[in-house]
């Protein structure tokens, strides 16, 4: 039986299937692909992030799968939502649906108060990121975003993770546009006004907005996982009905 494709796009932390522990089982019902964004590799040294390269990775994952089928659903977290939206703008014919979890789509809401305050807080740090060491940048980033302290990276992977974070371009620089006509779910954790502001903006443009527990990772909660699965299943059923 033909399985519709679901492409998972991670944020700035863990990547590949490790970023989606509750969604692994969706591979039973879907052709699930867990992507690695540009510069995310378990062995290779991190490189500067690229919205364009990330978008190309997403679009390649939606290309013809060898069975004459192309397209699928995209589920994206945080910074991964940027390339998901850019892919949907470039090739809406390939995107069945968008699920944006705590989307870091700050360029859409640049003039709104929570986004403007966040940029005012973070811009000075990003302005000097190439003059800072990886650990220094990560420590200050965590303090400013989460008001928390972080232990010094100890393992090689933790050190690579700190470098990846420093090499991520500011989310507010992404060339984003609203995606017309693509069914969209926005899932937020209700903990941070910034993400609620972005979700509210997307809701005003036609997206469905849901809350689930879990802070910045509501996809890890049972409720968040149910929202993701039921939304994709509903869109899939509607597509099948139209095709029949």
Each residue's pLDDT expressed in tens, for the chain with a length of 244 residues? 578 999 999 998 899 999 999 999 999 999 999 999 999 998 888 999 999 999 999 999 998 665 656 899 999 999 999 999 999 999 999 999 999 999 999 999 999 999 999 999 999 999 999 999 999 999 999 999 887 776 777 688 888 899 999 999 999 999 998 888 899 999 999 999 999 999 999 999 999 999 999 999 999 999 999 999 999 999 999 988 887 7
CA distance 138 to 190: 24
- State the alpha helices, DSSP H only, in 77-183: 80-90, 113-127, 134-146, 156-166
The Cα diameter of the chain in Å comes to 58
Taking the complete model, does pTM exceed 0.85, yes or no? yes
Q: Specify the residue for token string 């690229």.
A: 50
> 5-105+174-243 — its CATH code?
3.40.50.1820
């Amino acid at each position: 039986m033909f399985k519709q494709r679901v492409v998972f796009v991670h944020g700035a932390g863990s990547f590949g299937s490790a970023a989606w522990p509750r969604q692994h089982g969706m591979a039973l019902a879907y052709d699930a692909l867990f992507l690695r964004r540009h510069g995310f590799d378990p062995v290779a040294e991190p490189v500067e992030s690229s919205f364009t390269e990330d978008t190309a990775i997403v679009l390649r994952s939606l290309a013809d799968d060898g069975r004459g089928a192309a397209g699928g659903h995209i589920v994206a977290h945080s910074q991964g939502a940027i390339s998901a939206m850019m892919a949907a703008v470039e090739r809406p014919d390939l995107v069945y649906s968008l699920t944006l979890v705590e989307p870091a789509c700050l360029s859409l809401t640049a003039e709104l108060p929570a986004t403007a305050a966040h940029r005012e807080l973070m811009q000075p740090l990003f302005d000097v990121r190439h003059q800072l060491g990886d650990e220094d940048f990560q420590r200050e980033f965590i303090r400013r975003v989460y008001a928390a302290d972080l232990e010094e990276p100890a393992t090689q992977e933790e050190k690579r993770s700190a470098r990846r974070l420093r090499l991520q371009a500011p989310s507010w620089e992404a060339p984003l546009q609203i995606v017309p006509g693509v069914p969209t779910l926005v899932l937020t954790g209700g903990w941070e006004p910034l993400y609620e502001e972005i979700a509210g903006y997307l809701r005003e443009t036609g997206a469905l907005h849901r809350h689930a527990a879990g802070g910045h990772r509501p996809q890890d909660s049972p409720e968040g996982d149910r929202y993701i699965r039921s939304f994709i299943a509903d869109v899939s059923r509607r597509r099948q009905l139209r095709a029949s």
